[in-house]
Chains A and B, each alone.
Chain A
Amino acid sequence: MASENRYCLPAGMPMPDPARSASFHHGFWEAARRHELAVQRCRSCATFQFGPEEICYKCHGFDLGWEQVAPRGKIYSWERIWHPSFPALKEACPYLVVLVELPHAGGVRMIGNLIGDQRRDPPIDGAVEAVFEDHDEGFTLVQWRLEK
């Protein structure tokens, strides 16, 4: 990652817009802005669920909250993308996408970019930590890097 580039991917990527999304999405993005990792959790039966949903799939309760969890996980799968699906990505290819599992939060998974050498194959099950990528437009993306 070039040092002048504060972001994993170039400008021009689609920006998350939680304000225009259903309210059950808001907690994740508010926490990320505070550099915290939050996972939706049912207040009735304590089930973690992600992506967020309006109902708990386990007990069918509608009382869902957000729980701050340790910003760590392990790589469940990964891919290296060579074909740019947006014009903005032309210069960024190849780049790595990881699917990160959070064993301490019900095993939920999240998508992010992996910071570091984009040409090196990431280890599946490798431990990663969250990196909070603040954008001037007012949102924060949760990215990942291998733990030292």
Chain B
Amino acid sequence: MLQRPGLSFEHMAGYTWREASAMAADVLTVKDKAAIVGLGETKYYKRGGAPVSEFRLACEAIMKAAQDAGIPVSQIDGLASYADDRNEPIRMASALGLSELHLSNIFWSGGGGGVAGAVGNAAAAVAAGYARYVCVYRALAQGQFYRFGAAPAPKSVTGNAMYTLPFGMGTAAQMIALRTRRFMHEHNVRQDALAAVAMASYHHAQFNPRAVMYGRPLTREQYDNSRWIVEPFHLYDCCMENDGAAAVIVTSAERARDMPHKPAYIMASAQGSGFRQGASVHNAPDYGTANFGTLAPRLYEMAGIKPADVDVVQSYENFTGAVVMSLVEHGFCAPEETNDFCCFENLTWPGGKLPINTSGGNLAECYVHGMELVVEAARQVRGTSTCQVRDCEISMVIAGPAVPLVSDLLLHA
């Protein structure tokens, strides 16, 4: 196993996060140069439940985000997305009549690992002066298009797939279960830690009328009795499949101050991967991890804060095991403390040490490929979440996780 870069924050002892953050100003970053100023979401549906097309969902989310930001849609001059979104910027820009398009950007890779990075890209573009109002959006109609979890069965396969698919191995759940099992083995992590993540998401969804699982609480018995998809993942350890779209507007910090809502300033964003994380057939050297070993220290360094400064986390749930690994790698607990830290009491609002996925997230609100997590992270900074963390100042989004390309985002009030 590779030596994992340590998270050390001794030099910050005795400083408030604002003081420590100000001292980190010499690190070249986007810190405090951009902010999220508009939030847009469609109604969230069960898979196949959307009465309209995916493209229309994308349009609606973008229009709502612009309205929330108090700008005409036509003033959006940058479009950014991730995960091979099917609604290309040039089509969106033409269909929505944008006056000019200054940025057409996508974060490469097929998974949800790009969602925080897509916002980071938008912030960088704004800071660089490429565009004034960048809309980051994601639309998914898994009823209209294929389902992620149901891999097609080709008669034959070529390339890297030859070393996995003939063995009945290849879905996202199957790929991440192997990494999770290794992590659990290395650190003696119990199933309870995974269950806590699922139950936290369902708990928070019960306060959120937008959530697909609103009114459908999850008990530990239901979790334990639900069928295995692939051990160690029960049904409730796996994200939902849904129809919906979400979008945010990113603009400069200067403009943000005069806009209708309290800005969620972008403190830092990190994206990418560690050494050979994309090595095929599960040959990433640092394997029993969610792949944040190099990103998390970079993220904290750019922001000039430490894990204890973070008030709330939206941690992308493709599968609960990957959330647990993400929390460890972001320094919220040491690997050997995982069983104690990752419990329902700690991860839930209102009393928990670190409430996670406070809207219900991918497991219980709506699987918009994590875009709904960015919206919720900004809502926490605004103070308008249905599970509002008191005095929330710093809000984190962890995206990926345990896939070859991942990303992070830190927002502050």
Contacts and interface: CB of A to CB of B under 8 A. Distances in A.
A147 interface: no
B278 to A, nearest CB: 10
B168 interface: yes
A22 B280 CA distance: 15
Nearest to A16: B162
B168 A89 contact: yes
Interface string B135-173: 000000000000001110111111111111111111101
Given A13-B166, A13-B168, A92-B168, A78 B181 contact: yes
A57 interface: yes
A83 B283 contact: no
A78 B178 contact: yes
Contacts of B67: none
B153 A88 contact: yes
Contact of A111 (B158, B167, B182, B229): B167
A65 interface: no
A17 B228 contact: no
A9 B167 contact: yes
A26 B410 CA distance: 46
Contact of A15 (B155, B173, B178): B155
Contacts of B228: 80, 82-83, 94
B174 A14 contact: no
A62 interface: no
Nearest to A21: B158
A18 B162 contact: yes
A61 interface: no
A76 interface: yes
Nearest to A57: B276
B167 A85 contact: no
Contacts of B151: 85-86
B179 interface: yes
Interface string A80-122: 1111011111001011010100000000111111000000000
A82 to B, nearest CB: 4
25 contacts: A8-B167, A13-B166, A14-B156, A14-B157, A14-B165, A14-B166, A15-B166, A16-B157, A21-B159, A21-B162, A50-B280, A53-B280, A77-B178, A77-B182, A77-B185, A77-B287, A79-B177, A79-B178, A80-B231, A81-B230, A83-B227, A85-B170, A97-B167, A111-B167, A111-B169
Interface of A: 8-9, 12-18, 20-22, 25, 29, 49-51, 53, 57, 76-83, 85-89, 92, 94-95, 97, 99, 108-113, 124, 141
Lowest 9 CB-CB distances: which A-B pairs, in order? Answer: A51-B280, A16-B162, A86-B153, A51-B281, A82-B228, A77-B182, A17-B156, A21-B158, A80-B231
Interface of B: 149-151, 153-171, 173-174, 177-179, 181-182, 185, 227-232, 276, 279-283, 287-288
